[in-house]
């Protein structure tokens, strides 16, 4: 019964995204970007369950985005590049993860930040390969060998982002309910006990870390193929901060939170930039402050509180 | 090897002097961050913005002095005034209105409050001071240059960077050590850092200590910014750059003593300066490479104490 | 009866304090061994060393004939040595049922990412364990909402859910209201006897010791001062003066 309701809710949300993109064409692009970021934020949510904050997950997003940029110059095929870029990000995540899961709290956060900043400077400094801060422009990618007109291409990217979002949201939910997912939440409250039960907190965290980098990789790939322009700014620490921002804005109580947060974030950004061009960042900061001070459960928590109140009444 | 050294004496000397003055600024920012983290357990992302604002305020005061024909030497005390103004005005406001309200929230929410503040302060700087570089180098010109002998060469170096920057940093270090060990307020800060609950139980007013510490930390960041402002032009984004660098210093040093922040700032400052002269590509990366290398060997940081949890 | 856990010449010091200064102690298969002694004597340290949390500076520890010195807590628990804690170590944001089920899952292997933790088998087993401790009515409560006595029991229930061969308990009755104490210990003893678990417990309540221990070891100044059946050890005049005379009442709640 409950499951049927949830499936319905997901389908409704997906339909809503498509309808909005169809009625307001310029929002199609915004929604695709939002879903792509939502994928990366889903990874942040995983790590938040373990009580850890990564201030460097933009690294994996940027890594996959640049992988797409380099790959598209040779074989511009979406269905080939996307999995390759995502798996590449996950492999990098495994490598980095083996190192960073030994650390907790600020050391975990700062090491992630440090590594993403290293990647940022590599992108910025090796001009001959990366074109520095100018970044790289991408040719349009094909779908299964088909060259699509820009309109269809836009729809294809949105549908791809939507599919990936649903797929990973379901996957993360299953993972969080599983023994590993529950042990992951145990890292936050009593990691020492895990060891005395025979569970390695580090391995549990590593599994979540790699999954989070895989999702960030998917997000980065979609982002690169949608904006068709990648720059080092993707990897700057403020981009990672943005991901944590969205996680809190959406609420960490549900796998729907990241996507809700990402859509709200992108819309606020677009409108703030249009209204107060010089102070859009300030508007976002103020929104974040209001959310933390008055709705620490994020948008998802707010929605649930509203529904709960109505049921009670 | 030896031949390389004698060929590059000049560059090495320049790098060492640059690194020293750079480390002095970095120390001022990182030590404040460390202090604030110790007491509030919040990594203040907006700490770099306080650095930037301190710099802008100092530059504004400097330009005011110059344009009103006031004596040039006033631009030196103006640096200090800028720091005190920024710390005394912004510090208590941020602590009372924002941080106190999330005192009992999850750490990630506390962190994000400072991130929100960072976003707001970044745009505020652009609104107040614009996006064009702001330059006010009166203190540097005032003190002139000194010829520093290096082997057979002589390096002309600004007296400001040679004496004022490291001098203020050393005075700050000694002053802080004295303050934390010998004064009542300082000992209260240490007590709250080590065990907030126990300190409360002993009757220490943790709320006041928190306010004091945060304002002092803000003033230190602003002083760093004010001191750095005559040596480089102020542009948007300087706060973002500064904060990640101080994060690297704090994580490398580990949480704990102020001396740790000083040694680490020196290490990272010199590392960066040498990179600037010998491997410019690595300039931005060096602090992080040092940090990663240190944490690989010492997970608790250079000066951090490994906590064994009692169970 | 065979020896299950054997310590030889264990030494460890914290600063100047010699918590263990040449400890020789054998735990026999199937017995309940109580460790008593003044606070700060090193009783908890013994459990910490036997479970791999602390490494002794000298000495040997073998379990079931196997050298376990230098093994991590994770490796040792896999061999069948579980422990409970003086300060309950629960996953505070999980329910009591989830805490226990996680212990069941830990034993069965946690790496099955596609079925939920509360799958029927794990849930049933966790409920069984909780039922034996009388905790079933609290199964749905979050662990941080329990009173101290229930937290303590839940902590032991988690260790029992690991189905250990040897269970080390650090002050299992501290925090349990004195009116309930005997009932709780009665339950605990029955559960452990039923499953044939060997138990070592650090205890301050001499009534509990007298009633449930097969043997008593007296820990003092880093050494085993006396060892034997409770009726013999507890009536020893030296032990009465040095250990029991200090009085368990005023000391049992302070940190060991």
- Cβ of C77 within 8 Å of Cβ of A198? The answer is yes
Question: In chain B, what residues touch C255 (CB-CB under 8 Å)?
Answer: 310
State yes or no: pLDDT of C248 exceeds 70: no
Could you say which of C83, C107, C111 has the minimum Cβ distance to residue A180? C111
Mark yes or no for CB contact C53/B311 under 8 Å: yes
The residue-averaged pLDDT of B11-33 equals: 91
The answer, yes or no, to whether residue B311 has pLDDT greater than 70, is no
> Cα distance from A178 to chain C (closest Cα, Å)?
4
Query: Looking at chain A from residue 108 to 127, which residues have their Cβ under 8 Å from any Cβ of chain B?
Result: 109-111, 113-115, 117-118, 120-122, 124-126
Task: Out of B82-86, C109-113, C163-167, pick the least confident.
Answer: C109-113
Tell me the chain C residues in contact with residue A198 when contact means C-beta distances shorter than 8 Å.
74, 77-78, 106-107, 162
Residue A200 contacts C where some CB pair is shorter than 8 Å: yes
State the Rg of chain C over Cα: 18
3-state secondary structure string, chain B?
CHHHHHHCHHHHHHHHHHHHHHHHHHHHHHHHHHHHHHHHCCCCCCHHHHHHHHHHHHHHHHHHHHHCCCCHHHHHHHHHHHHHHHHHHHHHHHHHHCHHHHCCCCHHHHHHHHHHHHHHHHHHHHHHHCCCCECCCHHHHHHCEEEEEECCEEEEEEHHHHHHHHHHHHHHHHHHHHHHHHCHHHHHHHHHHHCHHHHHHCCCCHHHHHHHHHHHHHHHHHHHHHHHCCCCCECCCHHHHHHHHHHHHHHHHCCCCHHHHHHHHHHHHHHHHHHHHHCHHHCCCHHHHHHHHHHHHCCCCCCCCCCCCCC
Indicate the DSSP class of residue C85. -
Q: Which residues of A touch B93 (CB under 8 A)?
A: none
Binned at pLDDT 50, 70 and 90, residue C41 comes out as confident
Strand partners, C27: C5
User: Does C159 fall in a domain?
Assistant: no
Write out chain A residues lying below 8 Å of B296, CB-based: 99
Distance to chain A for C119, nearest Cα, Å: 9
A181 touches chain C (CB under 8 A): yes
Burial class (CB in 10 A: 0-12, 13-18, 19+), B104: exposed
Average the pLDDT over each of A253-257, B125-129, B155-159, C99-103 and give the range with the smallest value. Answer: B155-159
- Domain of residue C236, CATH code: 3.40.50.300
* Best of A49, A56, A111, A118 to mutate (most B CBs within 10 Å, chain B): A118
Q: According to the model, what pLDDT value does residue B196 have?
A: 84
Q: How many CB pairs under 8 A join A and B?
A: 121
Arithmetic mean of pLDDT, B186-202: 88
Q: Domain ranges in chain B?
A: 15-297
A-facing residues of B in 99-128 (CB < 8 A) are: 101-102, 105-109, 111-113, 115-120, 122-124, 126-127
Percent of chain C with pLDDT over 90: 62
Residues in chain C within 8 Å Cβ distance of B309 = none
pLDDT number for residue B141: 86
Residues of chain A short of pLDDT 70, as ranges, are 1, 309-313
Residue C201 C-alpha, separation from nearest chain B C-alpha, in angstroms = 15
Looking at CATH, the fold of the domain delimited by B15-297 is given as ABC transporter involved in vitamin B12 uptake, BtuC (1.10.3470)
CB contact under 8 A, B311 and C85: yes
Classify residue C57: in a domain, yes or no: yes
Average pLDDT, integer, range B219-246: 92
Distances (CA, A) of A124 to A55, A59, C17, C214: 19, 13, 56, 72
pLDDT tens-place string over residues A19-55: 999 999 899 999 999 999 999 999 999 999 999 999 9
CB contact under 8 A, C53 and B310: no
Structure token digits, residue B142: 């005032």
- Over range B298-305, report the average pLDDT: 85
pLDDT digits (tens, 9 = 90+) for C46-91: 999 999 999 999 999 999 999 999 899 999 999 999 999 999 999 9
pLDDT band at C247 (very low <50, low <70, confident <90, very high): very low
Pairing of strands B145-150, B153-158: antiparallel
| Neighbour count for residue A166 (Cβ, 10 Å) | 17
Name the residue among A106, A114, A245 with its Cβ closest to that of B112.
A245
Predicted pLDDT of residue A310: 66
Structural domain includes residue C116: no
Interface partners of chain C (CB pairs < 8 Å, 3 or more) are A, B
Q: Which two tokens stand for residue A15?
A: 């339909």
Q: What is the pTM of this model?
A: 0.92
Instruction: Indicate if the alpha-carbon torsion angle B148, B153, B156, B161 is positive or negative.
Output: negative
The DSSP letter of residue A147 is P
- Interhelix angle C96-108/A179-196, nearest 10 degrees: 80
The interface predicted TM-score (ipTM) is 0.90
User: For an interface test with A, which of C113, C126, C166 has the most A Cβ atoms less than 10 Å from its Cβ?
Assistant: C113
Domains recognised in chain A with CATH numbers: 2-133+145-312 (1.10.3470)
Q: Alpha-carbon distance C109 to B41, whole Å?
A: 36
- Residue A279: list chain B partners with CB under 8 A: 123, 126-127
- Which pLDDT score, from 0 to 100, does residue C178 have? 83
Q: How far is CA B216 from CA A163, B89, B91, B168, in A?
A: 51, 11, 8, 15
Q: How many domains does chain C have?
A: 1
Determine the distance in angstroms separating the CA of A201 from the nearest CA of chain C, rounded to an integer. 10
For residue C142, being part of any structural domain is answered with: no
The distance of B195 to chain C (nearest Cα, Å) reads 17
Cβ under 8 Å to C: B residues 282-311: 310-311
Phi, psi of C249 (to 5 degrees): -55, -55
Domain containing C56 equals 3-90+166-251
pLDDT-based confidence at C214, cuts 50/70/90? very high
What tokens appear for B45 in the block?
């992302």
Q: Could you give the CA distance from residue C112 to residue A241 in angstroms, rounded to a whole number?
A: 32
Q: How many CB pairs (< 8 A) connect B and C?
A: 7
**Contact across the interface for A182 and C98, Cβ inside 8 Å:** yes
Compute the 3-state secondary structure of chain C and give helix, strand, coil in percent, each to the nearest 5.
Answer: 40, 25, 35
In a domain, C185, yes or no: yes
Q: Which residues of C touch B310 (CB under 8 A)?
A: 255
Cβ atoms within 10 Å, residue C17: 13
C residues 49-68 lying closer than 8 A (beta carbon) to B:
53
Q: What is the pLDDT of residue A29?
A: 95
Chain centroid to Cα B101, Å, comes to: 26
At residue C251 the predicted structure's pLDDT band, cuts being 50, 70 and 90, is: very low
Is A199 in Cβ contact with C93 (below 8 Å)? no
CB contact under 8 A, B310 and C85: no
Q: Which tokens hold the place of C225? A: 């001062």
Which residue do the tokens 């809503």 mark?
Answer: A16
Contacts of A192 in chain B (CB under 8 A): 309, 311
């Amino acid at each position: 019964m409950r499951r049927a309701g949830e499936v319905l809710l997901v389908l409704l949300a997906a339909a809503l995204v498509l309808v909005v993109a169809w009625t307001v064409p310029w929002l199609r692009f915004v929604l695709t970007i939002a879903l792509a970021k939502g994928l990366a934020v889903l990874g942040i949510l995983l790590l938040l369950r373990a009580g850890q904050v990564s201030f460097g997950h933009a690294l994996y997003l940027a890594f996959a985005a640049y992988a797409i940029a380099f790959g598209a110059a040779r074989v511009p095929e979406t269905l080939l590049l996307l999995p390759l870029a995502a798996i590449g990000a996950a492999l990098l995540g495994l490598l980095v993860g083996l190192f960073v899961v030994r650390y907790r709290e600020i050391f975990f956060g700062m090491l992630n930040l440090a590594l993403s900043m290293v990647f940022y400077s590599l992108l910025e400094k090796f001009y001959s390969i990366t074109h520095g801060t100018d970044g790289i422009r991408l040719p349009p990618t094909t779908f299964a060998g088909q060259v699509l007109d820009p309109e269809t291409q836009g729809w294809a990217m949105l549908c791809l982002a939507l599919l990936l979002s649903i797929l990973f949201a379901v996957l993360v939910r299953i993972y969080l309910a599983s023994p590993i997912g529950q042990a992951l939440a145990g890292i936050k409250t009593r990691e020492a006990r895990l060891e005395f039960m025979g569970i390695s907190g580090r391995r549990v965290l590593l599994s979540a870390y790699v999954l989070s980098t895989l999702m960030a990789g998917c997000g980065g790939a979609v982002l690169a193929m949608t904006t068709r322009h990648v720059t080092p700014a993707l990897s700057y620490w403020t981009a990672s901060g943005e991901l944590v921002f969205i996680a809190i804005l959406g609420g960490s109580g549900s796998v729907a939170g990241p996507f809700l947060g990402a859509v709200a974030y992108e819309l606020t950004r677009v409108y703030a930039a249009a209204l107060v061009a010089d102070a859009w960042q300030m508007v976002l900061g103020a929104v974040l402050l209001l959310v933390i001070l008055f709705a620490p459960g994020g948008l998802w928590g707010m929605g649930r509180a509203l529904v709960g109140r109505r049921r009670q009444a | 090897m030896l031949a390389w050294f004698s060929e590059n004496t000049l560059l090495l000397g320049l790098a060492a002097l640059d690194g020293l003055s750079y480390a002095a600024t970095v120390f001022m920012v990182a030590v404040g961050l460390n202090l604030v983290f110790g007491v509030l357990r919040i990594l203040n992302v907006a700490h770099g913005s306080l650095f930037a604002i301190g710099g802008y305020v100092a530059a504004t005061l400097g330009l005011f002095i110059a344009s009103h024909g006031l004596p040039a030497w006033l631009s030196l005390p103006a640096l200090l005034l800028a720091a005190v103004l920024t710390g005394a005005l912004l510090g208590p406001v941020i602590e009372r209105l924002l941080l106190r309200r999330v005192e009992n929230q999850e750490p990630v929410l506390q962190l994000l409050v400072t991130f929100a503040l960072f976003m707001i302060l970044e745009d505020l700087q652009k609104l107040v001071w614009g996006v064009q570089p702001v330059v006010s180098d009166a203190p540097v010109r005032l003190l002139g240059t000194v010829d520093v002998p290096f082997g057979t060469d002589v390096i002309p170096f600004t007296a400001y960077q040679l004496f004022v920057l490291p001098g203020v940093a050393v005075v700050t270090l000694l002053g802080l050590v004295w303050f934390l060990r010998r004064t009542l307020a300082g000992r209260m800060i240490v007590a709250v850092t080590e065990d907030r609950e126990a300190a409360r139980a002993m009757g220490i007013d943790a709320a006041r200590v928190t306010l004091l510490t945060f304002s002092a930390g803000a003033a230190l960041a602003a002083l760093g910014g004010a001191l750095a402002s005559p040596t480089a032009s102020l542009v948007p984004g300087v706060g973002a750059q500064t904060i990640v660098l101080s994060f690297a210093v704090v994580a490398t040093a580990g949480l704990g003593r102020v001396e740790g922040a000083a040694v680490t700032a020196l290490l990272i400052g010199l590392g960066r300066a040498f990179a600037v002269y010998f491997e410019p590509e690595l300039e931005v990366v060096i602090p992080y490479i040092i940090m990663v290398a240190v944490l690989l060997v010492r997970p608790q940081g250079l000066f951090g104490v490994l906590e064994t949890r009692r169970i | 009866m065979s020896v299950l856990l054997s310590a030889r010449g264990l030494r460890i010091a914290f600063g100047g304090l010699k918590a263990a200064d040449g400890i020789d102690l054998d735990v026999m298969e199937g017995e309940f061994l109580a460790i008593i002694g003044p606070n700060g004597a090193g009783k908890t340290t013994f459990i910490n060393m036997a479970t791999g949390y602390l490494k002794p500076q000298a000495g040997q520890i073998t379990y079931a004939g196997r050298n376990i010195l230098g093994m991590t807590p994770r490796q040792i628990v896999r061999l069948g040595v579980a422990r409970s804690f003086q300060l309950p170590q629960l996953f505070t944001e999980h329910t009591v049922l989830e805490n226990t089920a996680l212990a069941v899952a830990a034993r069965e292997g946690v790496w099955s990412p596609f079925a939920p933790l509360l799958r029927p088998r794990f849930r049933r087993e966790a409920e069984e364990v909780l039922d034996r401790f009388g905790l079933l009515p609290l199964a749905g409560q979050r662990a941080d909402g329990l009173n101290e006595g229930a937290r303590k029991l839940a902590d032991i229930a988690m260790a029992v859910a690991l189905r250990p061969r040897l269970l080390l308990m650090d002050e299992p009755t501290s925090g349990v209201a004195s009116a309930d104490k005997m009932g709780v210990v009665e339950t605990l003893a029955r559960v452990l006897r039923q499953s044939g678990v060997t138990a070592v417990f650090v205890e301050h309540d001499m009534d509990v010791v007298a009633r449930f221990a097969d043997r008593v070891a007296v820990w003092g100044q880093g050494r085993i001062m006396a060892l034997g059946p409770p009726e013999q050890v507890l009536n020893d005049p030296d032990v009465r003066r040095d250990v029991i005379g200090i009085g368990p009442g005023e000391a049992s709640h302070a940190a060991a």
